[in-house]
Amino acid sequence: MNHFAPIHAPLRLLGALTLLFAWQTGCVGLPTAPSSVGGDLVLSGRTVTAAAETIFESDERPTLAFHFDHAYCVCEGRQNATFVLIQGDEENPTAAATIRILWRPEAGSTPIDEHASNATLHVMRFGADAAEVYSGAGFVFLNDGPDAAKVSAECWSADVVLQDAASKGKDPLGPAHASGAFTAEQDAVKVADLLLRLSRKVSAQLGYPRLVRK
């Protein structure tokens, strides 16, 4: 039994904003992180449900789209950072994501490669009595320094799979690609509190211990 709302394939849109595209110059065009706290993340399955009919369209694929109402982060030194994104009520979220930056790419000195990995991701969604955790790794670019009060970031490319699920239902996505942009308020205490809350919530709904930071 599927405890979650059905997933609908997106409409075919010219130049879908949530997808990575390469310019002729070799630069990468991406969604811009919002100036306000919060953001979006889209998980797109690699299975094509309907092929594009023209070169101006994109193949339709199963997707999960998340809009995060709250976002917090903590920068741990120059290189490392942890983000916690919350959809809905912080006390009882409908979805959440944790992103751990392992090293910081530097414009002009770090080769920009969408196939590189500098971050781990856990994307969770919660039903009344079910939970799913998509986990993986990919490339996340930080737009602000470690001392900024708000830090914006762009997930350019990440590979994720459904790693944990409370129900035995069919995986709606299969191997998936994640991309999006978000801006987080830097608050170490809030990050620690939410990581603990999410670990407890996920573990309770899965029925076994599950950490969501690493």
Strands 93-101 and 80-88: antiparallel
Q: pLDDT digit string (tens) for 66-86?
A: 999 999 999 998 889 999 999
Provide the pLDDT for residue 129: 77
Provide the pLDDT for residue 170: 78
What is the SS3 assignment for 91?
Answer: coil
Specify the amino acid at residue 74: V
Provide the pLDDT for residue 150: 97
The C-alpha atoms of residue 108 and residue 166 are separated, in whole angstroms, by 44
Q: What are phi and psi of 111, to 5 degrees?
A: -60, 130
- Helix H or strand E segment including 192: helix 188-206
Provide the pLDDT for residue 191: 97
The C-alpha atoms of residue 130 and residue 170 are separated, in whole angstroms, by 13
Q: pLDDT digit string (tens) for 48-60?
A: 666 766 777 676 7
What is the SS3 assignment for 188?
Answer: helix
DSSP states along 3-52: -SPPP-PPPP-TT-TTS-EE-TTS-EE-PPPPSSSEEEEEEEESS-SB--
Instruction: Say if residue 153 is exposed, middle or buried (CB neighbours under 10 Å; 0-12, 13-18, 19+).
Output: buried
The C-alpha atoms of residue 97 and residue 118 are separated, in whole angstroms, by 16
Provide the pLDDT for residue 18: 35
142 close to 125: Cβ distance less than 8 angstroms: no
Give the chain's residues under pLDDT 70: 1-3, 5-31, 48-50, 52-53, 57, 59, 107-115, 168, 213-214
Specify the amino acid at residue 59: D
Provide the pLDDT for residue 54: 78
Handedness of CA 184, 210, 118, 177 (dihedral sign): negative
Only one residue has tokens 């299969």, namely 174
CA angle 212, 161, 14 (to 5 degrees): 115
CA angle 132, 81, 153 (to 5 degrees): 75
